[in-house]
Amino acid sequence: MYTVPKLDDYSPATLDRAISQLESALESERREVQTEDDWKAFRDRWLARKNGILTQLNELWLKGAPPESKKEIGKRINASRPLIENRVESQLNWLRAAVHEIVGSPIGLPIDISLPGIHRPIGVKHPVLRVMDEIVAVFKAMGYSIGEGPEVETDYYNFESLNFPPNHPARDTQDTLFIAAQEQKPARDRLLLRTHTSPVQIRVMELQPPPVRIIIPGKVHRNDPLDATHSPVFHQVEGLAVDTNITFCDLKGTLDHAMKALFGSSVKTRFYPSFFPFTEPSADMQVSCIFCGGKGCRKCKFSGWIELLGCGMVDPNVFEFVKHNGYDSSKVSGFAFGMGVERIAILKYEVEEIQLFYEGDVRFLEQFA
């Protein structure tokens, strides 16, 4: 181990040699430091006020030197001081970083490098996202593009342009969360959390003249209390096709194909009259019960059918709002549909409660791995 040598003379060559010995000793001792205790000993050996190496340099080299050499030696020792201090400090930082990397805990804990590593299971797609992607993929394969829109929406896009005039009772079917303190704004500019993905229909038509075929996945919000099948935040997938000569037959054929792709080829569909302000005629689409095959069971309330989505032919009043972009209802027609992703996921995976999707319980989620 290095000890501070006595100097035979004070020539620059001797000093150079002595300093370089000192530096290489510092370097090799630094490399030996593996634990915090090692580091404390290292620090004291080099920097302790009482008998550290730096102090010894002063004692052995400076004090014994003849007056004419003192200045030069003092300079050399002072030049070595920051190097020593810096090495000692940076060694601790290095040690802390290295320990942190290995065991993920701050220094101080003993490291047992023979312990097995931490096993981090690979994540999988959340079931809601998985079903959403599956639905989107079915329509992508039919040539649809994918569209998206904002979750914070204006009253205009969420309601007015979809033919829900202000104060129209159809608004009551979607209990809406409004952003506070907007009373000064005109009603159509007020912000809300979108209650459905349908506003993106208008946004797409504003940007793109017909023809359009678009599939729109997204998150929506309603002021609905949480129960086994409802959540105030949920997901929808919206579809829109506009072109010349689009008929209700196209709507039926498209959705029938999509349901067979999602639930299997034996599934049947039927269309039941309904009402949405932005479609005319409107329908609820039902699928033959995927549990009993249509015979009737508890899940389908013994009807043999399960209601799955809303759809219809785009109302001419909706086209009025985007007429300037080529949507003239005497020339083009279209169909639209919207479905709840959680609802489909609940059916597909026989999930008992919608909350399970949001709780993040690994015991539930790992079943989808």
Residue ranges that bind ligand DAH, judged by CB under 6 A: 196, 198, 238, 276, 279, 310-312, 336-338
Pairing verdict, β 333-340 and 305-314: antiparallel
Q: Residue holding tokens 């023809």?
A: 211
210/312 with CB nearer ligand DAH = 312
289/311 with CB nearer ligand DAH = 311
Nearest distance from C-beta of residue 140 to ligand DAH, angstroms: 18
Nearest distance from C-beta of residue 338 to ligand DAH, angstroms: 3
Nearest distance from C-beta of residue 318 to ligand DAH, angstroms: 10
Nearest distance from C-beta of residue 249 to ligand DAH, angstroms: 16
Token duo for residue 124: 């999988």
Nearest distance from C-beta of residue 231 to ligand DAH, angstroms: 14
195/288 with CB nearer ligand DAH = 195
Handedness of CA 90, 91, 95, 98 (dihedral sign): positive
Burial label for 169, CB within 10 Å (0-12, 13-18, 19+), is exposed
Q: Residue holding tokens 């620090």?
A: 43
Q: Residue holding tokens 């909350």?
A: 355
Angle formed by the axes of helices 248-263 and 127-140, to 10°? Answer: 130
Token duo for residue 104: 């993920």
Measured torsion, CA atoms of residues 200, 253, 323, 144, in degrees rounded to the nearest 10: 50
29/238 with CB nearer ligand DAH = 238
33/341 with CB nearer ligand DAH = 341
Burial label for 9, CB within 10 Å (0-12, 13-18, 19+), is exposed
Task: Report how far Cα 116 is from the mean position of its chain's Cα atoms.
Answer: 30
Output the CA–CA distances (angstroms, integers) from residue 97 to 106, 238, 307, in the order listed: 9, 50, 58
Nearest distance from C-beta of residue 198 to ligand DAH, angstroms: 4
Nearest distance from C-beta of residue 336 to ligand DAH, angstroms: 3
294/340 with CB nearer ligand DAH = 340
Nearest distance from C-beta of residue 138 to ligand DAH, angstroms: 16
Nearest distance from C-beta of residue 293 to ligand DAH, angstroms: 27
Amino acid identity at 169: P
Amino acid identity at 43: R
> What is the rounded CA–CA span in Å between residue 8 and residue 137?
85
* DSSP H stretches of helix in the chain: 12-32, 36-47, 53-57, 67-103, 127-140, 155-158, 199-207, 248-263, 316-320, 341-349, 362-365
88/214 with CB nearer ligand DAH = 214
35/329 with CB nearer ligand DAH = 329
44/243 with CB nearer ligand DAH = 243
> What is the rounded CA–CA span in Å between residue 366 and residue 348?
16
